[in-house]
Amino acid sequence: MSERKVLNKYYPPDFDPSKIPKLKLPKDRQYVVRLMAPFNMRCKTCGEYIYKGKKFNARKETVQNELYLGLLIFRFYIKCTRCLAEITFKTDPENTDYVMEHGATRNFQAEKLIEEEEKKIQQEREDEELNNPMKVLENRTRDSKLEMEVLENLQELKELNQRQAQVDFEGMLDKYKDMERRQKEREQEEDERETKEMLERALVKRLRDSDSEDEAEDANERGRKHTADNPTDILTKDVNTGSQVQRNTAASTSGSSSVGVKKQKLESWERSVGGLGEKRALGSLVVRKKPADSASKAASAAPREAADTQTGAGAAKPESSTASREQPITSQSGSSLSLLGAYTDSDDSNSD
């Protein structure tokens, strides 16, 4: 494939370019080009509007015997999009525009026509002044007179406006100063209000923080008090005391009467648990007996009272048995928890 792509061709030594025949083409030959409509136009045949920028496949040719400063002028042929009528226009290098020839009329051309008319009048006047010096003087005098009349009319209008306006400049300045003063007062009031709101918010926040700290301290104190006032603390606090009392009770039962044993049991019970009639820490844990169950309680307490009198030195009296029925019977187990369990067991047996 590289052999077919020849860039340099062979020229023989006797080659003469002048002997090459030239292709003769007509000077008015036409070329097909792609262009857009340079202006808005309307077809004369069907009245179809052709807007600026519409694309056409046009034929282009050079206009014969027409030049502008050595520049060629070209003519274009297009066809109407509706009736296929031929429309022609050519270039205008003098005005850097296009000129419609036939087949359509150009739209929105009034301003251009006015400008052309003004240019034409100006050109005629220059030509006339060039040949006639007196005409130049007349035109200058007329122009100066017209200019003076325009200035006089303008001055009259200014004076008329000043008389009708009646503007009070002092009042305007006072009003403007008053507006500035009120604006400053308003801004100052807004600043003071914002500062006051900020201080109030800071004070409320500080009070809330102090209240929350006080509440936290109160909660801690209540928690410490609650832990200190726990009803079951007495059970662990008086373990050693209860065991010592029970040992003393066991030693005294061998040589004392049943009345002394009951008194020591009563004292240990009250020291560990408390009396039934008093409101102690364990008052909520003790359940009172119902009056209806007193008869069954007395019947069940009689055998236990006889056993207690046998372990003692002498026989117990009827008054001591009555007192033993009123007080709960406890076992010598060595702790307050065992005493409380014995009391509840006696209650269960009585209810059975």
Domain count, the chain: 2
Question: What is the domain range of residue 153?
Answer: 109-180
Look over the chain and give the mean of its residue pLDDT values, rounded to a whole number: 75
- Cα 80 to its chain centre, rounded Å, is 60
Asked, for residue 234, whether it belongs to a domain, the answer is no
pLDDT of residue 167: 66
- Provide the pLDDT confidence category of residue 334 given band limits of 50, 70 and 90: very low
Residue 78 phi/psi, 5° resolution? -130, 170
For residues 289 and 214, the model is more confident at: 214
Among 97, 42, 88, 80, CA closest to 63:
88
The token pair that represents 119 in the structure block = 């240019």
Q: Which residue stretches of the chain are H helix?
A: 110-131, 133-165, 169-228, 233-237, 239-253, 258-272, 294-311, 318-326, 336-351
Asked, for residue 229, whether it belongs to a domain, the answer is no
Asked, for residue 351, whether it belongs to a domain, the answer is no
Across the range 245-256, mean pLDDT stands at 53
| 3 state DSSP class of 337 | helix
For 91-137, write each residue's pLDDT tens digit. 999 988 999 999 999 988 777 888 888 988 988 888 888 888 888 88
Asked, for residue 55, whether it belongs to a domain, the answer is yes
Binding site, residues?
Answer: 43, 46, 80, 83
Which of 180, 204, 239 is the C-terminal boundary of a domain?
180
Measure the CA–CA gap between 132 and 51, rounded to whole angstroms: 48
One domain, residues 103 and 122? no
pLDDT at 249 over 50: yes
For residues 268 and 143, the model is more confident at: 143
For 7-30, write each residue's pLDDT tens digit. 788 889 999 999 988 888 887 889
One domain, residues 48 and 89? yes
pLDDT at 323 over 50: no
Lowest mean pLDDT among 175-189, 216-230, 244-258: 244-258
For 150-193, write each residue's pLDDT tens digit. 999 999 988 888 777 666 777 888 888 999 999 999 999 999 99
Which of 147, 163, 180 is the C-terminal boundary of a domain?
180
Binding site for Zn(2+), residues?
Answer: 43, 46, 80, 83
Measure the CA–CA gap between 177 and 242, rounded to whole angstroms: 97
Asked, for residue 322, whether it belongs to a domain, the answer is no
Which of 82, 107, 132 is the C-terminal boundary of a domain?
107
Q: Using the CB atoms, write b or e for 11-44: b if 16+ within 10 Å.
A: eeeeeeeeeeeeeeeeeeeeeeeeeebebbbebe
Asked, for residue 228, whether it belongs to a domain, the answer is no
